[in-house]
Structure 1
Amino acid sequence: MPLDVQGTFVSQKINKIRWIAEDYVESKCFFTGSWDDEVNSVKVWSFESPHEEDEVDYPRALSEYPVEGDVTEIKFIDKNKIAVSLSNGDVKVLEVSVYDRQSPLREVFHFKKLHNYGEEPCSCTSLDTLEGDIATIGEDGNVNVLSGRRGEVMHSIKGADSCSLHSICFIKHNEVITGNIRGHMKIWDLKATNNKPAASFLLAGDELAATCIIHHPTQPHIILAGSESGSLAVWDLRMNSFPTSLVNAHSAGVSEMQFHPENPHKLLTCSASGELWDWNMEAMTKSSKGPDNQVTWMPLEDKKAMMVNSLIPALHKPINSLHCDKGRILCGADNEAVYLIKNFKY
C-alpha cells in the first residue's frame, strides 16, 4: 500500500508530539505540546472517523492542560505519565487517565524554577527519562536528575557547561551525555562527586549546536547526534571519542530523531527545513568487524550506501517533532498542523 499522508490544522505551533502506546492494538491517542502561543498547552488527542464508513481519521482534542511558557520536551516516564519541560525553567510530571482520556491531565509533581540564573528563571531546554528518572538541562548550563516516582531532585551538576545546553540522553542508568550550543559533547557519571565530565569531545569542527542526541536501541554504545547544520554524527563510545561518521543530511537543523521501535535499522529524522526522512541504517552496520569481531560502524568515506527516503513533500516551515508507532508516524510543525503518515513499511 502506498504511504498515506494527511495533515490537520490545529491552530497551534506544535513543538512536541507523542503517541500514547496501547497494548495489542494500534494507538489512537497522542499528546501535543505547543510553543509561541499566548497560552501554551499540553493536549490529549484522539483519531476518530466522523462517519463509520469514512476511512479518514481526524484528530479531536480530548483534554487540554495549559502551561506557562513553551513546551520544550515531552518524554514518557511510564505508560501513562509524562515529564514536560518548559521554557520558564519548570518541569512537570503529568498523568493521563488510562481509562478516560477525556478527563484532564493530572499534575503529579511540579519542579519550579529548576533552571535559573539566581532569582531569574531560564529555559529548561530538554530532558530525557529512564526507568522513572528524569535528567534535565537548561540555558544555565546545569544538569539535574529528578525522581519521577518520588518527586525530588536526586542530583545536580552545577555549571556542567559554560553555555546553554541543548540536548541530553541517558546512556545507562548512571550516565548521561549532553550537547551544548557550540557542539561540545560531554559524558557525565551521575555517581561521581567531583562534577567533572567522564569524557568530552566535539560534535564536529564548526561550532554548531547539538540539537538532539539518541542512542541505538539494541547497541546503546552507538550514539547519534543531530546538529544545527542538518548533519548527523554517529560514534561508538567503546572505541573513540569523536564521531566515526558524519553525514551531511538535512539542509537545516535536525529537530528530532527516532529509531523505529520494532526495527532498529530504520531511523526517522525531521528538520527545521520542513523535511521528514526515513533512513535505512543497515548499510552502516554491516561494513566492517572490529578487533574482537564486534560490529563497527561505517567509516566516513563509505557513506554512499545510505538509503534515505523522503516521507512527505517538504513543508515551508520547520517540522519540530515526530513519533512512530508501528506503521504510523505523527509529526508536528510550525505551520500549526499535525500530520499522520499511514502504511509506513518497517
Structure 2
Amino acid sequence: MPLDVQGTFVSQKINKIRWIPEDYVETKCFFTGSWDDEVNSIKVWNFERINEDEDVEYPKQLSEYKVDGDVTEIKFTDKNTIAVSTSDGNVRLLEISSYNRQTPLRETFSWKKLHNFGDEQCSCTSLDTMEGDIATIGEDGNVNTLSSRTGDITRTITGADSCSLHSICFFKHNEVITGNLRGHMKIWDLRSPNNKPAASFLLAGDELAATCIIHHPTQPHYILAGSESGSLAVWDLRINSFPASLLKAHAAGVTEMQFHPENPNKLLTSSISGELWDWNMEAMTKSTKTSDNWMPLEDKNTMSVNSLMPPLHKPINTISCDKGRILCGADNEAIYLIKNFKY
C-alpha cells in the first residue's frame, strides 16, 4: 500500500509530538507541545473516524495542560509519565491516566527556574530520560540530573559549558553526551565527583550547533548527532570519541531524529527545511572492531534515503513513529499523520 499522508490544521505551532504507546494494539492517542503562542500547552489527542465508511482519521483534543513559555522537550520517564521542559527554565513531571485519556494531565513534580542566570530565568533547552532519571540542559550551560521517583535534584554540573547547551543524550545509565551552540560535544560521567567532562571534541570543523543527539537503540555505543547545517554525524564510542562519518543530509538544520521502535535499521529525521526522511541505516550498524573496517559514509548516496512527504514551506520540528504510523508537527500549525509506513 502506498504511503497515506494526511494533514490537520490545529492552530498552534507544534514543537514536540509523541505517540502514547499501547502494549498490544495500534495506538491512537498522542501528546503535542506548542511554542510561540501567547499561552502554550501540552495537549492529549485521539484519532477518530468521523465516518465509518472512510479511512480518514482526524485528531480530536481530549485534554489540555497550559504552561508558561514554549515547550522545548517531551520525553517519557515511564509508560504513563512524561518529563516536559519549557523555555522559562522549568521542568515538570506529568502523569496521564492509563484508563481515561480525557482526564487532565496531573503534575507529580515540578522544578521551577531549574535553569537561570541568578534572578533571571533562561530556557531549559532540552532533556533526556533513562530508567526514571532525567538529565536537563539549558542556556545557562548547566547540566542537572533529577529523580522522577523522589523529585530530587541528584546532581548539578555548574558551568558544564560556557555557552548555551542545545542537546543531550543518555547513552549509559551514568553517562550523558551534550552538544552546544558552537558544536562542542562533551561526555559526562555522572558518578565523577568533579565537574570536568570525560571527553570533549568538535562535531565538525565549522562551528555549527549540535541540534539533537541520539544513540542507536540496540548498540548504544553508536551515537548520531544532527547539526545546524543539516548534516548527520555518526561515530562509535568504542573506537574514538569524535565523529567517524559526516553525512550531508538536509538543506537546513536537523530538528529531530528517531529510530523506529520495531526496526533499529530505520532512522527518521526532520528538518527546518520542511523535509521528513527515512534512512536505511543497515550499512552503519555493521559490526566493526577497528576503525579500518568502518564503512565510509561520506554522503547520503551510500545509503538508502526516502522522502516521506513533499517538503513543507515551514520547519518540521518533531516526529514520532509507532509501527506503520508516523506523526510530525510543524510551524505551519498542522499535524501530519503518515500511514502504511513499511518498517
TM-score by length of 2: 0.98
Secondary structure of the residue that 2:265 maps to in structure 1? strand
Judge conservation of contact 2:72–2:86 (CA < 8 Å) in 1: yes
Which residue of structure 1 lines up, in the alignment, with residue 129 of structure 2?
129
Matched, 1:49 2:49: yes
Deviation at 1:3, TM superposition (A): 0.2
1:337 counterpart = 2:330 = no
Match of 1:34 in 2: 34
Q: Do the aligned partners of 1:285 and 1:298 also contact (CA within 8 Å) in 2? A: no
Count of aligned pairs between the two proteins:
343
Does residue 67 (structure 1) correspond to residue 73 (structure 2)? The answer is: no
Structure 1 CA distance for aligned equivalents of residues 86 and 249 of structure 2: 29
Matched, 1:324 2:321: yes
Partner residue, 2:173:
173
Whether the 8 Å CA contact 1:3–1:344 is kept in 2: the answer is yes
> Given residue 289 of structure 2, which amino acid in structure 1 is its aligned partner?
G
Return the letter of the residue paired with 1:12. Q
1:304 to partner: Cα distance: 3.4
Q: CA deviation at 1:298?
A: 2.1
Q: Which residue of 2 aligns with 1:265?
A: 265
Q: Could you report, residue by residue, the CA deviation over 1:265-323 in whole angstroms, capped at 9, with x for unpaired residues?
A: 1000000000000000112334x7434xx996422448632110000000000000000
Deviations 1:225-256 (A, max 9, x none): 00000000000001112111100100000000
Any runs of at least 4 consecutive aligned residues in structure 1 with deviations exceeding 6 A, and if so which?
none
Equivalent residues in 2 for 1:248-287 (5 A)? 248-286=248-286
Map 1:188-337 onto structure 2 (within 5 A): 188-286=188-286, 289-291=288-290, 297-301=294-298, 304-337=301-334
Q: Deviations over 1:181-201 (max 9, x none)?
A: 000000000011111000000
User: How far has the Cα of 1:16 moved from its partner?
Assistant: 0.0
Distance across 2 between alignment mates of 1:310 and 1:55: 23
Report what 2:119 is aligned to: 119
Q: Distance in 1 between matches of 2:58 and 2:238?
A: 46
Contact 2:268 2:279 (C-alpha < 8 Å) held by counterparts: yes
CA contact 2:248–2:298 (8 Å) conserved in 1 = no
Q: Gaps (5+ residues) in structure 1?
A: none
Amino acid of the residue matched to residue 341 of structure 1? I
Aligned partner of residue 264 in structure 1, secondary structure: coil
- Identity, in percent, stands at 79
- What is the rounded CA distance, in whole Å, between the counterparts of 2:134 and 2:40 in structure 1? 22
Q: What secondary structure is seen at the aligned counterpart in 2 of 1:304?
A: helix
* CA distance, structure 1, for counterparts of residue 268 and residue 318 of structure 2: 11
Q: CA RMSD in A?
A: 1.3
**CA 1:11–1:190: 2 relative to 1, 3 Å:** same
CA apart distance, 1:53: 1.9
CA distance in 2, matches of 1:302, 1:249: 8
- Partner residue in 2 for 1:100: 100
Indicate the residue corresponding to 1:183 in structure 2: 183
Instruction: Flag the 1:301–1:227 CA change in 2: closer, same or farther, 3 A.
Output: closer
Q: Answer whether contact 1:285 1:297 (CA < 8 A) is retained.
A: no
Quote the offset at 1:84 in angstroms: 0.2
Cα distance in 1 for residues equivalent to 2:140 and 2:224:
24
How far apart, CA to CA, are the structure 2 residues paired with 1:31 and 1:78?
14
- Aligned in 2, Cα 1:176/1:10: closer, same or farther, shift over 3 Å? same
Task: Give distance in 2, aligned partners of 1:173 and 1:194.
Answer: 18
| Equivalent in the alignment of 1:146 | 146
Contact 2:188 2:198 in 1 (8 A): yes
CA contact under 8 A between 1:285 and 1:295: conserved in structure 2?
no
Distance 1:127 1:289, change over 3 A: closer
**1:246, 1:300 within 8 Å by CA — same for their partners in 2?**
yes
Post-superposition shift, 1:54? 2.1
Residues 182 and 208, structure 1, Cα contact 8 Å, conserved in 2? yes
Per the alignment, do residues 148 and 275 of structure 1 end up closer, same or farther by CA in structure 2, a change over 3 Å counting? same
Aligned-partner Cα distance in 1 for 2:81–2:50? 29
After TM superposition, give the deviation of residue 171 of structure 1 in Å. 1.0
Question: 1: CA distance between counterparts of 2:127 and 2:180?
Answer: 13
The 1:296–1:97 alpha-carbon spacing in structure 2 relative to 1, beyond 3 Å, is: farther
Conserved? CA contact 1:285–1:296, under 8 Å: no
Equivalent position SS for 1:177: strand
Which one is further off, 59-68 or 236-245?
A: 236-245
| C-alpha contact (below 8 Å) 1:126/1:167 kept by paired residues | yes
Question: Secondary structure in 1 aligned to 2:283?
Answer: helix
Alignment check: 8 A CA contact 2:246 2:298 kept: no
Q: Give the distance between the partners of 2:75 and 2:260, measured in 1 at CA.
A: 16
Q: Is the CA contact (8 Å cut-off) linking 1:235 and 1:297 kept in structure 2?
A: no
What TM-score comes out, normalization by structure 1 length? 0.97
Paired with 1:330 and 1:303, the residues of 2 have a C-alpha distance of: 24
In structure 1, what is the Cα distance between the partners aligned to 2:276 and 2:223?
20
Tell me, in whole angstroms, the C-alpha distance in 2 between the residues paired with 1:6 and 1:205: 39
Distance in 1 separating the partners of 2:300 and 2:19: 32
